[in-house]
Amino acid sequence: MNSNKVNMRVRLGLLIVLVLAVSAAVSAAVSGPTIHLDLIGRYETGVFAEGAAEIVAFDASSARLFVINANAGRVDVLDLSDPATPALLSPIDLPEFSGGINSVAVHDGLVVVAAENEEKTEPGQAVFLDTNGNLLNAVTVGALPDMVTFTPDGRYVLVANEGEPNDDYDVDPEGSVSIIDLSGGVANLTQAHVQTASFVKFNNRPIDPLIRIFGPNATVAQDLEPEYIAISADSRIAWVTLQENNALAIIDIASANVVALRALGLKDHSQPGNGLDASDRDDAINIANWPVHGMFMPDAIAAFTSRSQQYLLTANEGDARDYDGYAEEARVKDLDLDPTAFPNANDLQEDEAIGRLNVTTAQGDVDGDGDFDALWSYGARSFSIWNRQGKLVFDSGDQFEQTIATLLPDEFNADSEENDTFDNRSDNKGPEPEGVVVGVVNGRTYAFIGLERIGGIMVYDVTNASSPHVVQYINTRDFSADAEAGTAGDLAPEGLTFVPASDSPTGQPLLIVGYEVSGSVAIFSIEN
């Protein structure tokens, strides 16, 4: 074994001491067959807080990992034949697609990258490559392509075109999903093989009022912003998160038809088990019930099967619109609260209560009299399971915050870019679940949820979709080190990918995570 590999194993060993102690505490309460994650390798870019490692995609045939390096505007390619020592191969530079690289997916040796236009409100492109980085083809898609994925059968590529407005909010392109038919081969691909799943038909028909349509002068199609895509096992149906809209779109892939829009509704934080810590100014952990409704507003979504039924799993991050031309976010203490709805308004608006909590001003004035009758906050600080029609089956409530309070009380709701930030994010989405992936190990189904702010991965057994249970919380961050100096381990998990044992170079399932703040990639072995 060479000295570099020895040094790497020493560094990982020192970092993982806390991790093992933390995960064991959670796993101890779990009965029956289970798994645990072990950190076995790491790749580091050395670039802090510039998105140098975001979305990750693994190709089993070449044992290569494709990593979106937004900082450099390229795709980094890692040799993962030995996951303990990932090595950077020649990165893929795409100067002809200079607007920005947002997402990558791979299927049977074919790589596709989502590239936005230099002017983000103009159409972007889906770029096809082989695993050596050779350009094979490219087609035009919608504005701001933010996520790309293959159908399980490999016939289609779907692109979530977010269609964000410009900063002045005077140009607002339509959100859409591009559906690219690869049945004729990538070499023969033309623009004629690209269909657009559009939301235009909803401009002039009633939709659920809980679907947030609130951008200045926006049509429904302009306002809807596709974020992330999950696809059914039979490659026929796509489910698309509309994050800012707190909604879900259901799309028939073959026809490129949006068959339904579903409001995801609100989470009542006044109910037992749904508490949250709402203040960053109380110098304490205070997970409590408050008269606040959380908008689920998921980022990532994954589809899985339980007892022959299709389910969806979402990471309920939350996201506010904040532009020069329009901003919706305000703190509770700065609002006029309706005295009937909130008879204790003065107490609630104290910094130590919910006065610091960020909520939307786009909703909440129910009777239109200028004061707020309801408070809607961003995200649900949880993951949720939904049926294929978008009906809630399970929500993890306040389990994320409760777990962190128990296992990492000195780092509770810390920020991702700096250590010694206890309670810093309590007023703003808490641990902020963002990424999620689902994998099957020994016949059981597990969900892996990345917590963007404090870091770490929550692991749940979701084999029974209506009754998931916690398996592990693992955090490879060093809270005693200097984050900006690059010595604090892994910060801000963004993209997650699961590698089944059959595709793994080690013969063991792997979880691979890209961390956007630390600019690192961590490889975890999934052990029985």
Query: Tens digit of pLDDT for each residue in 430-440?
Result: 999 999 999 99
Question: Residues 355-378: what's their mean pLDDT?
Answer: 98
Q: Six-digit token pair at 422?
A: 């206890």
Task: Report yes or no on 194 lying in a domain.
Answer: yes
Is residue 431 within 8 A of residue 316, CB to CB? The reply is no
Q: How far apart are CA 112 and CA 59, in angstroms?
A: 12
Is residue 182 within 8 A of residue 189, CB to CB? The reply is yes
Place of tokens 């020895």: 6
Kindly report, residue by residue over 253-283, the tens digit of the pLDDT: 999 999 999 999 999 999 999 999 999 999 9
Q: How far apart are CA 470 and CA 27, in angstroms?
A: 7
Number of domain units in the chain = 1
> How big is the chain by its Cα radius of gyration, in Å?
22
Task: Report yes or no on 342 lying in a domain.
Answer: no
Task: Identify the band that residue 1 occupies on the pLDDT scale cut at 50, 70 and 90.
Answer: very low
Average the pLDDT over each of 10-14, 223-227, 354-358, 442-446 and give the range with the smallest value. Answer: 10-14
Q: Six-digit token pair at 375?
A: 């408070």
Please list, in sequence order, all residues whose beta carbon lies within 8 angstroms of the beta carbon of residue 194, skipping any fewer than 6 positions away. Answer: 139, 140, 141, 178, 179, 180, 181
Task: Report yes or no on 331 lying in a domain.
Answer: no
Of residues 110, 35, 45, 126, the one with CA closest to residue 78: 45
Task: Report yes or no on 387 lying in a domain.
Answer: yes
Is residue 143 within 8 A of residue 226, CB to CB? The reply is no
Question: Residues 487-512: what's their mean pLDDT?
Answer: 98
Q: How far apart are CA 436 and CA 451, in angstroms?
A: 9
Is residue 287 within 8 A of residue 401, CB to CB? The reply is yes
Q: How far is CA 287 from CA 274, 381, 399, 427, 487, in A?
A: 9, 12, 10, 12, 31
Containing domain of residue 19, as a range?
3-319+379-527
Task: Identify the band that residue 33 occupies on the pLDDT scale cut at 50, 70 and 90.
Answer: low
Question: pLDDT value at position 34?
Answer: 87
CATH number at residue 410: 2.130.10.10
Task: Report yes or no on 187 lying in a domain.
Answer: yes
Task: Report yes or no on 372 lying in a domain.
Answer: no
Task: Report yes or no on 328 lying in a domain.
Answer: no
Is residue 457 within 8 A of residue 446, CB to CB? The reply is no
Q: Six-digit token pair at 93?
A: 């530079």
Q: How far is CA 179 from CA 138, 142, 227, 241, 252, in A?
A: 13, 10, 15, 16, 10
Task: Identify the band that residue 11 occupies on the pLDDT scale cut at 50, 70 and 90.
Answer: very low
Q: Is the dihedral of CA 341, 343, 346, 350 positive or negative?
A: negative
Task: Report yes or no on 109 lying in a domain.
Answer: yes
Q: Which amino acid makes up residue 79?
A: D
Question: pLDDT value at position 156?
Answer: 98
Of residues 310, 303, 313, the one with CA closest to residue 382: 313
Does the pLDDT at position 446 exceed 70? yes
Question: Residues 206-216: what's their mean pLDDT?
Answer: 97
Question: Residues 342-351: what's their mean pLDDT?
Answer: 98
Kindly report, residue by residue over 155-206, the tens digit of the pLDDT: 999 999 999 999 999 999 999 999 999 999 999 999 999 999 999 999 999 9
